Structure 1
Amino acid sequence: MIYAAKTVAKASLKSSKTKEKLLAEIKIHKSMHHPNIVQFVDCFEDDDNVYILLEICENQSLMEMLRARSRLTEEETKYYIVQILGAVRYMHKRRVLHRDLKLGNIFIGDNMDVKIGDFGLATVLASDSDRRRTICGTPNYIAPEVLFGKKVGHSYEADIWSVGIILYTMLFGKPPFQTKEIEDIYDRIANLSYSFPEKVKVSEDAKDLIRKLLVTDPVERLSIEKVLEHPFFEYQFPAMVPSFALTKKPIYAAMTEHDARKNFINCQVQAKIRLAESTEVASTDVKPIKIDERAATSAQNSQTENGPAAVLPTSLSPASTKDKYKMVIVPRKSGLDLKQQQQQKLKLTGEYAGKAVEGNKQTAEQNQDRAYDRHSASPRPRWTRAVTALATGNRNQTDKQVAVEQRVTRSATAPPKTGQTNTASRTAVAAAAAAAAAPAASAVSGRTTHDGKSMLYRTLKTLTIAINSYESKETLAPAQSSPRVPAVFISKWVDFSDKYGLAYQTSESNDGVLFRNGTVLLMNPENETYLMLDKDDTTEKPLVCKWTGKAIYPSTENASEHKVIRLINTFHRYMQDHLQKSNYGIQRASDDLSVNPVFVTYYERQPEYVMLCLNNGTFQFNFPDHMKLIVSSGASQIDLIDNDQRLHTWSIQEALAFTHRAQHKKLVSDPAYTLIHKLAMCRTAVKKEYNSL
């Protein structure tokens, strides 16, 4: 096991007070056992340092996540605030005040859940009515009663204030009272001088909750229980936060109030706020912490074998503890060069206006060092893409289709003669769509065959002709026939690409995983059959590679096959339990996975969309407005899932006709109103892929 090590130089522990504070931190943190608190592992010392071993959080903290993203979505914010409140509730039940809650002290675990760490300023109250009077904390997050209420003191409400600051910061990108000078920050806190930037779209419920948390009088501030009753949590509450959210904005589909409520309760159960399968608030059977400072400091006058005074008592660290561990250097995932590191060091100072301080003493250099140390790894890749795997099809059929498309292109772009209408442009889309709709994929003996480049070309040309015709206001010739069966699309997906790959479920209710190495595994959960697909030649360019399928079985003795079967079943259960259910009544074409299998070959994330590319030439685009656009059969068929999760199946001609009607009549609520804009983005994305071949 590898742990994070917090190292404290013994040279900095000059007074008995500093030693007492370190020992108090260790004892408090060691007593914390909660899923949303960084787990304390051990502690030991040598001649020079004291080492505190902690659970390692390689995803770093919310501060780095916010720096990479600028702002978080309301869905993510709701999810994380509930987890933070669960941890704070646990601490307060143990009479522990953290007093330094901020983004930099909230770490992100492997499963993207948050964990509170750094108990350096934490303290234990003698009773619930007890108060503390030390001025401490991080300037942007300090509660007014901590700064200005020394006579009265402060208690649990100071942590609730910090939660309000965290909520504001996640939604708006910076703390509400932030400014260059610390004294100005304190003046703004005293006068409650903050505002909501108009350029950032945030719900009124979010703003209302912030106002009720950032209340000067701690007595009037919401309690944790009242916070959880706020309407802010009643809608669009996600089941989880995907790993790519570290650097990219996740897009959450619209969900029913029932699903949102279910996710909200599940999150509270995981955060130990509620009991499982119950609306009853969980009781806290933990006892308040008691710190015997005399016992804790009893080791300070003892000597080690080599002479230096020991800091840790044997009750916290037996003499043999350090022999259980060895120091290792963990390489960065994608290291910054020295110049970039120095630039980062200079840049990472404005987010929280400095290091946590006690007694209000700090320097700009200290602020920079703290932020820089936390920024130990570069951001994750923005999107993941498999080396694409589509095979070369029938040569004669391909040549024929390309010839049709070339004729269509020439007729569509040629100017009409004087006195004539451009009838060619009226039929261009119909001709291109008819050519594109020709069968192009099959599976024989486990091998999928498909001319990827030709299908990509047909899709691009059909979209180009259709959009040009729409913009020139030409009447389109009707389709030869209207599609009646929706294309197969991806109804659910979860990104585990940081460790495994992309897990998904198709509209036919088959499950799939696109692994990081480009291998694909499919599962029919009804008859528990599995198909593993591998690329024949990984050196082939994207969209022109052949795939070969091989059935694998749960009884396999192959360790790697057994592992992936367990993984896909785990992903299946997760998607069933946590993702919104979607049933469009689409039946499987065949229970045999080797017959015309449909699977994801690669995917890409952009701020405007998430693109999923399937092996049969279908392109699926998921947009931030929760609409999904499925372009299939060379763009001759368009399927649209609207905001209400209704599925529309059109020919390209019908899609443009509905778009024209919605635009002409200004039917803003009509799902077809923005369709032409979405089709234009699809064309740009497809063109980029075609040009990359």
Structure 2
Amino acid sequence: MASYRTQPLQPLNNGQLNARLATTPVKSLASPAHAAAATATRRVRDGAEAKEKPKKKEKLSSLCKTPPSIVRTRNGRDYQRGLFLGEGGFARCFQMKDSSGQIFAAKTVAKASIKNEKTKTKLLSEIKIHKSLKHPNIVNFIDCFEDDVNVYILLEICPHQSLMELLKTRKVLTEPETRFFMTQVVGAIKYLHGRRVIHRDLKLGNIFFDPNMNLKIGDFGLASVLPAGDSRKYTICGTPNYIAPEVLGGKTTGHSFEVDIWAIGVMMYALLVGKPPFQSRDVQVIYERIKNIDFAFPPDKEVSPEAKALIKDLLSLNPLHRPTIDEILQYDWFKGPIPSTITPETLVGKPRNVDSISRQQASVNFNHVKANAGIYSPSNKAPVQILKSDLESEKPKALLPQSLSPGDTKYKYKEVDPKQVGKPRRVFNTYIATTKDLDQNCFDTYQNMRKIEHLRDDRLGSFELPTCEKPVLVSKWVDYSNKYGFSYQLSTNDIGVLFNDENTVLKFHNSDKFLELILNKNEGWIAIENSSVNPPSESRKQLDIVDFFAKYMNSNLSKVSDNEERKETVFLRRYTRTNEYIMFELTDGSFQFNFKDHHKFCISKAGTVITHVSPNRGIETCPLILILKQGNFSREEVPECLEKIMVVKDAIKRKAFRE
């Protein structure tokens, strides 16, 4: 698992408000000619004649296409794509759920980013190395598979994020907590080095918390196997703040297992002080500081002499002067207080009683933590070997060799109980708002509108007028699909975001509950209910986006109608933007059209009822047949009313027949 981070939320300007013709989950109905004209206008407006600014280098992760809602593997095990978790430089990460409800993290790499044999070998080596590892403090490798556009590395999900997020929240950690974390890291690194694996990218962002708050080292994208006959690697790689000085020497010096020892020192310093020891905004300054071991302990930070002594030895310029992995835990610093376990309260604040652990209890706890980290386990595992068969696929057009994704992995899964992922969830047993029913509703709505339109006057008496209830309406909206998705507020005051991966997060008004609505295109949306008071960590990014949009809409946009009581769960299925209107399809079967003159129509009850919302928020709901016969609404006339209704009917027809 990489250190995935979404881009920070950017403020919305007036140009982005309800005005962007952006990529949506469905194709826009605007004509190609208009699109070309709009592009030309935009170029003139932006001064395209002027010298263009150099483009920023695009992340390779941007080539990664959103996986389909169902990812099918060749071993017969299918996965349902869930929420987007974040991205790194090379990959994007999504939730994946199997048929039994087990949730995993899928590191997704675009095949388009694998442009040469070297890149392919690097990816396959990462898979081979990670697949070969089994340790309580290493992220568990589940499987790997591919489709036409992506390679998926399926991993144990770590719901409490990473040490980096913890440090951002806490600013600094106590020495007892850091002692616990460093013991687990040392146990994992001892295991890696015993298998002849150098991680080479150890950093706070690559060390994750499992459901039980144990650390797990992940992201083996830069890892390398050092064969017994070799003593050095020469590739310059790593993250600037954590790179060891000998790595910067490149082919002149080479590097070995000691680079991971160095990284332990950097992480230990960062946890106790609040930032890495050589940090600077200028990367070249960082490198100069590393080469000169130019760091100090701030006088305002309480760091014990024992901790300082260990950090200074770990950050020795000469790799041979650093303690070995076995020597680290023998330093006096590890004789101090240490908890037996870490609890979730650590994520938000200093744990209670952490400083009052007796020396005797600390010794017992230390031995317990070391045992759980495999310190006492005999290293009888053979070194990891990368074979030729691990780098060459047996099938045409396939990237993954059979050796890396064998068909008999079905019984080798270590699956995570979804109840352990963050806080307990309630998963509704049935799909809600099935796509099949909604597609049928599209067709029925169009057919009913067509029948009503052609109903003869002499047959009006036999037509049973429908009951007219005001439907749930989209009250406010913001199209920010160029980054996150489409946000909206309903007339119930519930707020949702239809993300670009076509899944939805819906936050209920006057409630601490929210729903993750995960789309299966063949069935519908399965709803996962959670509390927004203390949500699972993998949902926090999405909730932050929802709250961001909610704050913006409440501050800047006016409502379409007054609040109304929620009678059922309703959310936005999809939307379409044209030059005339924006069309909302809601999961209660209604269709809302916001015309550019600020008049709004909503067709409900399978095409038999129409609601008009005027620019001044006046609302009238009537049987459609009466409006067609009268020619307009009685309370407030709508400009070109019948023409607008024909536009609505034709748009629904296109959806019904998928034109």
Q: TM-score range by the shorter chain?
A: 0.3 to 0.5
Instruction: State the structure with bigger RCO (CA 8 A, min sep 6), 1 or 2.
Output: 2
* TM-score (structure 1 length as normaliser): 0.45
